[in-house]
Amino acid sequence: MKTRPLTILVSPLDWGLGHASRMIPLIGRFIQDGHTIILAGSGRSSELLRKTFSDLRFVSLPGHTAHMGSGKHSYFELILQVPALMFSVFREHRMLGKIVRDEAVDIVISDNRYGLHCRKAYSVFITHQISPVLPALFRWLEYPLYLLIRKRIKRFNQCWIPDFKNPEVNLSGNLSHRYDTLSNTRFIGILSRFSQSGSADEIPSVPYDVAVVLSGPEPQVSLFEKHLYNQLTKLGKPAILIRGMRNNPIETNDLIRQVSHLEVSAFRQVLKQARIVISRSGYSGIMDFVALGISAILVPSPGQSEQEYLAGWLSENGMFTVVLQDDLDLARLYETSFLPATSKKIPVPGKPDFQFVEDLYREYRQNG
């Protein structure tokens, strides 16, 4: 007897585009398996998913959007937002209950949204950050915060970590491998929009020497963009700014193309053919580069300890080159002929088998 299609709600955190972009291969798999998918969220992350899957139903499920300060100690501003974040978790949990009832949702996929668990639906939490890394001043809080996160994860039926299980070959380091994981937690390998093979013949009309991938919350993303634009203007080489679903180009320049977004196939080819790729050290972007088999120059957001840790960890393991924002000199990097594709330290993830998805279906039907 054929089992009925499931109704699956997918909702990523709206802190940049990374949480949404790594949902793309999952959503594609759910659609391939014949299930009904509902997208839920707000902001630019939901805009990306709605643009990618325009035929899917969307429901509004707002969360707290972080605002990062412009200085190196912007984490103080993030701390001040903790009460609003806690209220957001409570609010989204309450809203989810109504959505589950109204839409007859069977499974909820939550990417880093701690309030999206529900007794009337089978809930899956996705995160690469079981054990956050904090600035030195707050290092003593890391273990208590880990215990708090464990407690929240227990409210979900499953927790998926998008990384390799092997502690010697992984991307997240201490963020997911420092402490023991819970029994409901499993490593699923990387999640990237580029995991599926693309057409090797699809070549952009303009070969770009420099490709810049912009992401993250304001005002840091705009400050970084302005800083890079000025250097690209002086460099005088063909370049592209992929602006993370942000419109209104900052200026005009014949050599610098500015796009709000690229479709997956074009995005893949731009990154693989660029001489230099520059990006923040957000985790989802890192997974994208690994899926493509290329390296990049990572520029961590000032004051974001997670990005600073990831950049340092991956640099120490020879996978990526790290440059601090204040030290970024495109002219010097260009002269040294830095070639992203030449790194041989990048792990080879292989094509995802999505066994964890098959296990999800089975466990839901047994226990959901």
pLDDT at 86: 75
Just give the CATH number of 7-191+352-367.
Answer: 3.40.50.2000
Mean pLDDT of all residues belonging to the chain:
86
Q: Helices 43-52 and 24-32 sit at what angle, rounded to 10 degrees? A: 40
What backbone phi and psi angles, to 5 degrees, belong to 138? -115, 20
Three-state DSSP class for residue 321: strand
The DSSP 8-state label assigned to residue 239 in this structure reads E
* Owner of token pair 């089975």: 362
**At 303, is the pLDDT very low, low, confident or very high (cuts 50, 70, 90)?**
confident
- The number of beta carbons lying within 10 Å of the beta carbon of residue 261 is 18
pLDDT at 161 > cutoff 50 = yes
- d(CA 287, CA 2) in angstroms, rounded, equals 36
Name, in order, each residue with C-beta under 8 angstroms of 124's C-beta and a sequence gap of 6 or more. 107, 108, 109, 110, 156, 157, 158, 159, 160, 360
Backbone angles phi, psi at 365, to 5 degrees: -70, -25
The pLDDT-based confidence of 341 (bands split at 50, 70, 90) is very low
DSSP, collapsed to helix, strand or coil, labels residue 81 as coil
Rounded CA-CA distance 150/136 in Å is: 22
Closest CA to 208 of 256, 265, 259, 150: 256
**pLDDT value for 302:** 86
User: 105-141 burial, b for 16+ CB within 10 Å, e for fewer?
Assistant: bbbbbbbbbbbbbbeebbbbbbbbbbbbbeeeeeeee
Q: Which residue from 325, 114, 334, 300 is spatially nearest to 211, judged by alpha carbons?
A: 334
Q: Is the pLDDT of residue 164 over 60?
A: yes
- pLDDT band at 41, cuts 50/70/90? very high
Q: Dihedral through CA 354, CA 360, CA 362, CA 366, nearest 10? A: 170
Most confident of the ranges 32-36, 85-89, 325-329, 343-347: 32-36
9's enclosing H/E stretch is strand 7-12
In the chain, CATH 3.40.50.2000 sits at 7-191+352-367, 210-342
Side chain identity, residue 164: F
Rounded CA-CA distance 78/67 in Å is 7
- pLDDT value at position 195? 83
For 61, 170, 313, the CA distances from 187, given in Å and listed in that order, are 27, 10, 19
Highest mean pLDDT of the ranges 28-32, 40-44, 164-168? 28-32
- pLDDT tier for residue 138 given thresholds of 50, 70 and 90: confident
Taken as a whole, the chain contains a residue count of 368
Does the structural domain 210-342 have CATH classification 3.40.50.2000? yes
Q: Per-residue pLDDT averaged across 119-140, rounded? A: 91
Please give the pLDDT value at position 69: 54
Q: Is the pLDDT of residue 5 over 80?
A: yes
pLDDT at 342: 45
Residue 148 has pLDDT above 50, yes or no: yes
In a 3-state reduction of DSSP, which class is residue 286? helix
Q: In terms of pTM, does the model score above 0.75?
A: yes
pLDDT of residue 77: 61
- φ, ψ of residue 40 in degrees (nearest 5): -140, 140
Peptide bond preceding 219 in cis form (omega within 30 of 0): yes
- What pLDDT score does 1 carry? 35
Examine the pLDDT at 253 and tell me if it is beyond 80: yes
The winner for highest mean pLDDT among 95-104, 178-187, 313-322 is 95-104
- pLDDT tens across 203-225, in order? 555 679 999 999 877 778 888 99
pLDDT above 90 covers what percent of the chain? 58
290: left (phi over 0), alpha (psi -120 to 50) or beta: alpha
How far apart CA 264 and CA 285 sit, in angstroms, is 13
Closest CA to 107 of 118, 121, 96: 121
* Alpha-carbon gap, residue 224 to 218, rounded angstroms: 10
Q: What's residue 198's pLDDT?
A: 52
